[in-house]
Copies of this chain bind each other. A is one copy, B any other.
Amino acid sequence: MTHDTAQSTKPRVVLLGLGAMGTALARTWLAAGYPVTVWNRTAAKAEPLRGLGADVAVTAAEAVAAGRLVVTCLFDDASLEEALDGADLHGRDLVDLTTGTPGQADTRAVWAEKRGARFLSGGMMAIPPMIGVPDAGGYVFYSGPREVFDQHASTLAAPLGVRFAGTRPGAAALYDIALLSAMHGMLAGITHAFALVRGEEMPTKEFAGLLTSWLTAMASATDLMAEQIDSGDYSRGVVSNLAMQVAGNRALAVTAEEQGVDFRLLAPYSELLEERLAQGFAEEDGTGALELLVKGS
């Protein structure tokens, strides 16, 4: 009885796309007592969910007809257009978790609105094992009309934390990709570091622990960088100024050469700081170099 009552007060979730991510989402909504309608291009993937109480639609259009909140978790933006080709989106709230670029989300929002739907774009900062595990720290950025986000926030929060990224449809994808970009840089640095010490005495595992501690301690530098960016004063709170940083970076290049490691992953940032120094910003922090990355600024 309790279960039925709970179901009746929770809105139906229509979920299109049952890859690893979509399947994990469906399971969590079902476990939390939400009525769920699923559809997947390869129908066999839906069967295990039917056993857990999901309604399985034969076509995407049939699924979309089953409820107002339509969550898509497909291969890419083109798959979304293909899947929804024959569906009637009028009165629907389309929440797209398909991975794409900010520009794709901006365009998709216009497309959805033309078809009578309200559109939220999502950017997932999680991998499937984090879904439904609140302590795992996974969350999803959402962007689009604030009122659509507010209306569905509690439903969307069942599988993963939610965070509003902005009203621009592309904001969720943008912040998602900005975090991934920062990680990309970190992984480049870590890969270079492991290459430098390969074959040395310290056990690799021990060095890995030192790397994690060091990067964790240094990651909090983002706070000061944000202050510098917001104020436009890149010399604010500087500990090691650009002249010192550039001098220190030479040791990184020389050490790579000594150890027989290609410096290609780190060279562009060293060069960017040197360019900024050559422009006369010796007393600034390295943060100011971002001015050189932004085209036309």
**How many whole Å from A168's CB to the nearest CB in chain B?**
7
Interface membership of A292, Cβ < 8 A: yes
Copy tally for this chain in the complex stands at 2
When A187-B221, A191-B289 are in contact, do A177 and B296 touch as well, CB less than 8 Å? no
When A197-B175, A200-B166 are in contact, do A260 and B296 touch as well, CB less than 8 Å? yes
* Best-buried of A182, A248, A294 by chain B (most CB within 10 Å): A182
Task: Count contacts on A: residues with CB < 8 A to the other chain.
Answer: 97
* Best-buried of A189, A267, A292 by chain B (most CB within 10 Å): A189
Q: Are A223 and B205 in contact (CB under 8 A)?
A: yes
Interface membership of A112, Cβ < 8 A: no
Q: How far is the CA of A177 from the CA of B295 in the complex (A)?
A: 32
Interface membership of A198, Cβ < 8 A: yes
Q: How far is the CA of A201 from the CA of B204 in the complex (A)?
A: 42
Q: Are B207 and A270 in contact (CB under 8 A)?
A: no
**How many whole Å from A178's CB to the nearest CB in chain B?**
4
Interface membership of A10, Cβ < 8 A: no
Closest 10 CB pairs of A and B: A185-B189, A166-B201, A188-B269, A208-B226, A208-B222, A182-B189, A182-B193, A186-B186, A178-B193, A215-B219
- Contact mask for chain A residues 232-258; partner B; CB cutoff 8 A; 1 contact, 0 none: 000000011000000011011011101
Interface membership of A50, Cβ < 8 A: no
Of B174, B194, B207, B272, the contact of A265 (CB 8 Å cutoff):
B272
Which of A27-35, A53-61, A66-74, A99-107 has 4 or more CB atoms under 8 Å from chain B? Answer: A99-107
Interface membership of A24, Cβ < 8 A: no
* Best-buried of A185, A249, A272 by chain B (most CB within 10 Å): A185
The A261-295 residues at the B interface (CB cut-off 8 A) are: 261-262, 264-270, 272, 286-287, 289-290, 292-295
Q: Are B266 and A267 in contact (CB under 8 A)?
A: no
- Besides the contacts A168-B201, A216-B219, what 11 more A-B pairs have beta carbons closer than 8 Å? A101-B258, A166-B200, A174-B200, A180-B251, A185-B190, A190-B221, A192-B290, A195-B294, A198-B290, A198-B294, A265-B272
